[in-house]
Amino acid sequence: MVVALVTGLAFANAAATGGTSTVRNKLTLMAPASPGGGWDGFAREAQTALRSEGVVNNVQVVNVPGAGGTIGLSQLVGMTGRDDILMVTGGVMIGAIAQGDTPESLADVTPIARMADDFAAIVVPADSPIETLDDFIEAWRANPTGTSLAGGSLGSIDHLLTLVLAEKIGLDPADANYIPYSGGGEALSAMLSHTTTGGVSGYNEIAGQVEAGQLRVLAVSSAERVPGVDVPTFVEQGVDLTMSNWRGLVAPPGLTPEQTAELVAIATELEGSAAWQDVIRRNKWTDSFLTGPGFADYLTEQQAEADEIFEGLEK
C-alpha cells in the first residue's frame, strides 16, 4: 500500500502540466507495469514516435506497476477530467480485471484507440520430443495435470490461452497445469530448463530464443500467419482458437467531447506516422487501429469473454 501511494504521488507530480500548457505541449503516458515489460516497451515506442513526428512536443512515460495493471487503472479512474494523460492497456488488463477484486474496470475510463495486436505462441524446448501441436495435444490429453505450461501472471493472455486451448481440445480447463511467473525471464528459464513441458508467451518475447534454436514454436494465436513469422496458426492446424494480446490507449473519465476528440486525433496521427509503422514492422505487431464506439464495443466484448472464462472455472 505504501509503495502504491508513493508511486501515485510520483505519477501525479510527473503528470502535472501547469496552467498554460496543452496536451500537444505535454502528454504523460502511463505504463501500468514495471520498466522492461510489454506495456513499458509499447509506451516508450509511442513516446519516441510522438516526439520524432512532432505530434506532441513533450512526452513522458511513468510506470505504475502492480496487479496486472489494475493499480494504474485505479489511479487513472481517479483523475477525472484530466486530458493530458493516456494509459497503455490491453488484453492482460482485461484478464486481471476478470480474475481480480478491483472495483474499477475499463468501463470507467474514456476509450481512445486500439493501436496494435500482438499474438501468443505455444512453445517447447528445442530438444523436446514434442515436435508439433498435435504431439502436444496428444501428450496433454494423455496426462492433463502432468503436462505443464509456463507463462505470465494469472489472468494474463498466456493464462487465458491455456484455458481456452484446454477447452477446445476437450479437457477440463480446471485441470490445466498452468504455472504463472511474475516475469518473462523466469517463465523462459522454466521452459529452457524443462521445469515445465512448455510455455505460452508473446511471440516477440521468445523470438530470440526461437531464432537461436533454443525453443520450438508449435502455433501462434493469430487468425492468419503473421508476416515475417513462419509459424502455423492454431486454426491452420485444426484448432479453432484465435486470441490477441492487443494494446491500446485510454484516458481518464469525465472528458468533454472536444478533449476526447483531441486525444483520438493524437492517436490517429501516431498510427499514421512513418515512425509508428516502423515500430509495427520491427516488433512484428499487426496494425489494428480502432477508435470511437467501435473500440468501446470491443472493450465490452473482450471483458465479457474473459469474465465468462473465469466464471466457468469457478463452477
What CATH number did the domain enclosing 125 receive? 3.40.190.10
Phi, psi of 183 (to 5 degrees): -135, 155
In eight-state DSSP terms, residue 121 is: E
Q: Residue 18: pLDDT band by 50, 70, 90 thresholds? A: very low
Shared-domain flag, residues 102 and 125? no
Q: Is the pLDDT of residue 2 over 70?
A: no
CB 110 within 8 A of CB 260: yes
Shared-domain flag, residues 295 and 257? yes
What three-state secondary structure class fits 75?
helix
pTM over 0.85: no
Q: Residue 315: pLDDT band by 50, 70, 90 thresholds? A: low
Q: Could you give the CA distance from residue 281 to residue 285 in angstroms, rounded to a whole number? A: 6
Shared-domain flag, residues 229 and 287? no
> Where in the sequence is the domain holding 23, given as residue range(s)?
2-117+246-314
Residues 95-113 pLDDT 10s: 889 887 788 999 999 999 9
How many structural domains compose the chain?
Answer: 2
Shared-domain flag, residues 181 and 259? no
Domain final residue, candidates 237, 267, 300: 237
Shared-domain flag, residues 306 and 268? yes
- The number of beta carbons lying within 10 Å of the beta carbon of residue 272 is 12
Shared-domain flag, residues 291 and 277? yes
Shared-domain flag, residues 202 and 305? no
Shared-domain flag, residues 204 and 303? no
Cell numbers linked to 125: 524446448
Q: Is the pLDDT of residue 20 over 50?
A: no
Q: Could you give the CA distance from residue 71 to residue 104 in angstroms, rounded to a whole number? A: 10
How big is the chain by its Cα radius of gyration, in Å?
20
Cell numbers linked to 40: 513499458
Q: Could you give the CA distance from residue 255 to residue 44 in angstroms, rounded to a whole number? A: 25
Strands lying side by side in the sheet with 148-151 = 177-180, 148-151, 198-202, 120-125, 215-220
Q: Which residues pair with 200 in a beta bridge?
A: 122
Shared-domain flag, residues 107 and 130? no
Domain final residue, candidates 182, 202, 237: 237
Q: Which secondary structure element, helix H or strand E, spans residue 162, and what is its range?
A: helix 157-168
**CATH value at residue 261:** 3.40.190.150
Shared-domain flag, residues 269 and 287? yes
Q: Residue 13: pLDDT band by 50, 70, 90 thresholds? A: very low
Domain final residue, candidates 208, 237, 266: 237
Shared-domain flag, residues 147 and 218? yes
Residues 157-200 pLDDT 10s: 899 999 999 999 999 999 999 998 866 678 889 999 999 999 99
Shared-domain flag, residues 254 and 277? yes
